[in-house]
Amino acid sequence: MSPNGDAFLLDPNTPPGPSRYAHARIAPASAHRTIYVSGIAAVTPDGKLEGATQNADGTWNLDIKEQTAAVLRRIDAIISGASNGKGGIHNVIDSVVYLTDMKSHYAGMNEEWNKVFTDRVGAPARATVGVQELPDPRFIVEVKVVAVVDFE
């Protein structure tokens, strides 16, 4: 184990890309373990970007609701995989949402978020930050979370 815990990769057989990061870090602890999930965009393990369709003229239609839903599904899969099925999206205790256009995208992101986290009692702490850009110009939302899972 590294000094910063165990790394988790959703699909360890995927060839490494230009960026090197674990999908999650599992911190050493007792029965409860903390899982630190890297910033996740709406990209499937095979490289397909959800919520982005290319028009005939080469421009892109980017859908904040589709991208947000895809990101939350991917985070759920990462936490489930990192915890051997003992946790998921509802174990998230803290989150940071990055949006490239706060005015246009906040409401749609929040609508999808609220479908997953249906009440304040179960929802994680959250910060939402407007950013100038994300690593790919088709990414309009990225989410980073911390989850706590009981491994016993």
SS (H, E, C) the chain: CECCEEEECCCCCCCCCCCCCCCEEECCCCCEEEEEEEEECCECCCCCECCEEECCCCCEEECHHHHHHHHHHHHHHHHHHHCCCCCCHHHEEEEEEEECCHHHHHHHHHHHHHHHCCCCCCCCEEEEEECCCCCCCCCCEEEEEEEEEECC
Res 13: pLDDT: 77
Q: Rounded distance, CA 109 to CA 111, Å?
A: 5
Helices 64-82 and 102-116: angle between axes, nearest 10 degrees: 50
Contact 95, 135 (CB under 8 A): no
In degrees and rounded to multiples of 5, residue 127 shows phi and psi of: -120, 140
Q: Rounded distance, CA 8 to CA 11, Å?
A: 9
- The residue with tokens 């184990």 is 1
Per-residue pLDDT reduced to its tens digit, 81-122: 999 999 999 999 889 999 999 999 999 999 999 999 887 777
Res 3: pLDDT: 47
Is 4 a residue whose pLDDT tops 60? no
Higher local confidence (pLDDT), 50 or 30: 50
Q: Rounded distance, CA 35 to CA 27, Å?
A: 6
Q: Where does 6-150 sit in CATH, by number? A: 3.30.1330.40
Entry pTM: 0.83
Res 133: pLDDT: 96
What share of the chain in percent tops pLDDT 90?
62
Of the candidates 82, 80, 84, which has an alpha carbon nearest to the alpha carbon of residue 6?
A: 82
Residue ranges of domains in the chain: 6-150
Give the mean pLDDT of the chain: 87
